[in-house]
């Protein structure tokens, strides 16, 4: 081995350097899609879609840049990524501001206990919070004599 990095990298190593950023970016995009489906209001959905898709596309673009391994392709992808980093959060902000000015309310509460949304999310955190509140109320109503 002469220590030259270009000669020591195998095709498997190059594929790994390409596939890992694409996989991480795809996970971010999947999380954004789940957030758009699961979050209760426009503002939460905009947050999930703008932030996570921007980060996910950065990982995908990085993997594509490694796959092409050409300086011209890298600079083009960098320009596209920079454009997306500027425009996506800005457009989400403007949509949220327009919705707020038109009076679109944010979701103020989760579904009541025992009622699930159309995706089957019962609001487990709400149930735990209600159980703790009920336990605290019962303790205050009937304190233990000690």
pTM for the full predicted model: 0.63
Does 146 map to a domain? no
> Between 114 and 41, whose confidence is greater?
41
DSSP symbol at 123: -
Does 94 map to a domain? yes
Residue 4 has pLDDT above 90, yes or no: no
For the stretch 60-107, pLDDT in tens is 999 988 888 788 888 999 999 999 999 999 999 999 999 889 888 877
Number of Cβ atoms within 10 Å of the Cβ of 4? 8
Does 3 map to a domain? no
Residue 7 has pLDDT above 70, yes or no: no
Three-state secondary-structure class, residue 86 = helix
pLDDT of residue 115: 57
Does 5 map to a domain? no
Number of Cβ atoms within 10 Å of the Cβ of 29? 19
Asked if 62 contacts 20 with a C-beta cutoff of 8 angstroms, the reply is: no
What is the domain range of residue 77?
Answer: 10-108
Residue 112 has pLDDT above 80, yes or no: no
Does 121 map to a domain? no
What is the count of structural domains for the chain?
Answer: 1
Residue 145 has pLDDT above 70, yes or no: no
Can you tell me the distance from the alpha carbon of 96 to that of 51, in angstroms, rounded to the nearest whole number? 14
Coarse DSSP helix, strand, coil percentages of the chain, rounded to the nearest 5 percent:
75, 0, 25
Asked if 22 contacts 60 with a C-beta cutoff of 8 angstroms, the reply is: yes
Asked if 80 contacts 129 with a C-beta cutoff of 8 angstroms, the reply is: no
Token code pair at residue 14: 């190059």
């Amino acid at each position: 081995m002469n220590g030259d990095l270009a000669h020591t990298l195998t095709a498997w190593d190059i594929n790994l350097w390409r596939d890992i950023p694409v996989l991480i970016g795809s996970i971010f995009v999947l999380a954004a899609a789940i957030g758009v489906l699961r979050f209760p209001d426009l503002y939460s959905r905009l947050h999930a879609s703008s932030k996570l898709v921007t980060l996910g596309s950065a990982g995908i673009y990085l993997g594509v840049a490694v796959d092409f391994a050409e300086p011209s392709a890298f600079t083009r992808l960098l320009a596209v990524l920079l454009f997306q980093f500027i425009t996506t959060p800005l457009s989400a902000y403007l949509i949220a501001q327009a919705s707020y000015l038109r009076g679109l309310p944010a979701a103020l509460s989760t579904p009541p206990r025992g009622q699930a949304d159309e995706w089957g999310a019962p609001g487990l955190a709400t149930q735990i919070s209600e159980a703790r509140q009920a336990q605290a109320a019962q303790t205050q109503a009937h304190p233990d004599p000690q």
